[in-house]
């Protein structure tokens, strides 16, 4: 069992890793021994994350705007040109948009689908040379796409493009898992429930809304940093070498409760 969750010698890319859930994931990977590259849309945030995460291991912050195909391609090109080993890609960067159904605008779709679906696909496609370079059947390269319980069940939120995008990334992960198995690259998705991030700040700021949310979660609490980080370490380390094509809920039992 020694080394089952050890990531020493591995390098991981975590998009949107400068704050929120991405920072939780990045810290967990660092504590497991990996070197971690995090991205943020703003260069200042990327630099601040590099300094903060550096307390836990070798961290690097890169500015990358994944709201366009050009931005995703530029990030991948930068990493490929450098030629440094890359063993793990965690597509965590996300975008949402909420509005009532009868006034939900066209602009609520393009950016959400780009960041949540197209950018992860683009990064996997363009980073294949790096992922293939050090992948073996006994120690595959790993791709983890961060989805959401909102893409697997109806959460009764007016975030139509977000829910659709998360359902899409779950299925895309399965398609890629089959496609890339022969290259010794596993592809899985993680379906988080409710965590203390910017996306849930409006719920956490209202006592009644917070109480209703906790009633919705069988384990009666929000997710903690170690919950999401632990799932990512499991899938990234030797523990997850034979796991591909799954959608792993980390939700306190929401999906199980139907």
Report the run of H or E that residue 229 belongs to, with start and end: helix 225-236
| Residues linked to residue 33 through DSSP beta bridges, in sequence order | none
- The torsion angle over the Cα atoms of residues 221, 224, 226 and 229, rounded to 10 degrees, is 110
* DSSP character at residue 181: G
Residue-by-residue DSSP string for 102-167: GG--THHHHHHHIIIIIHHHHHHHHHHHHHHHT--SSS-EEEEEE--GGGTS----S-HHHHHHHH
Report the run of H or E that residue 220 belongs to, with start and end: none
3-state class (DSSP) for residue 174: helix
Active site residues: 162
Q: Which structure tokens are listed for 184?
A: 């010794």
Dist. CA 177–CA 56, nearest whole Å: 31
């Amino acid at each position: 069992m020694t080394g089952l969750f050890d990531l020493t010698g591995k390098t991981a890319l975590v998009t949107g890793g400068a704050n929120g859930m991405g920072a939780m994931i990045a810290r967990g990977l660092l504590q497991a021994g990996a070197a971690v590259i995090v991205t943020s849309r703003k260069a200042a945030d990327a630099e601040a994350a590099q300094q903060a995460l550096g307390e836990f291991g070798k961290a690097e912050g890169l500015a990358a705007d994944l709201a366009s195909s050009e931005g995703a391609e530029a990030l991948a090109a930068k990493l490929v040109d450098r030629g440094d080993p890359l063993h793990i890609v965690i597509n965590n960067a996300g975008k949402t948009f909420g509005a009532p159904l009868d006034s939900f605008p066209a602009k609520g779709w393009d950016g959400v689908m780009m960041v949540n679906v197209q950018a992860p696909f683009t990064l996997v496609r363009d980073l294949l040379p790096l992922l293939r370079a050090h992948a073996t059947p006994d120690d595959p390269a790993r791709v983890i796409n961060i989805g959401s319980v909102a893409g697997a069940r109806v959460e009764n939120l007016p975030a139509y493009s977000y829910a659709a995008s998360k359902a899409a990334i779950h299925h895309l992960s399965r398609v890629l898992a089959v496609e890339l198995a022969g290259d010794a690259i596993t592809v899985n998705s993680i379906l988080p429930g409710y965590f203390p991030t910017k996306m849930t700040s409006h719920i956490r700021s209202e006592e009644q809304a917070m109480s209703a949310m906790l009633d919705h979660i069988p384990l009666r609490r929000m997710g903690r940093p170690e919950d999401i980080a632990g799932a990512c370490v499991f899938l990234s380390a030797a523990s997850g070498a034979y796991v591909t094509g799954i959608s792993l809920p980390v939700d306190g039992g929401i999906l199980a409760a139907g």
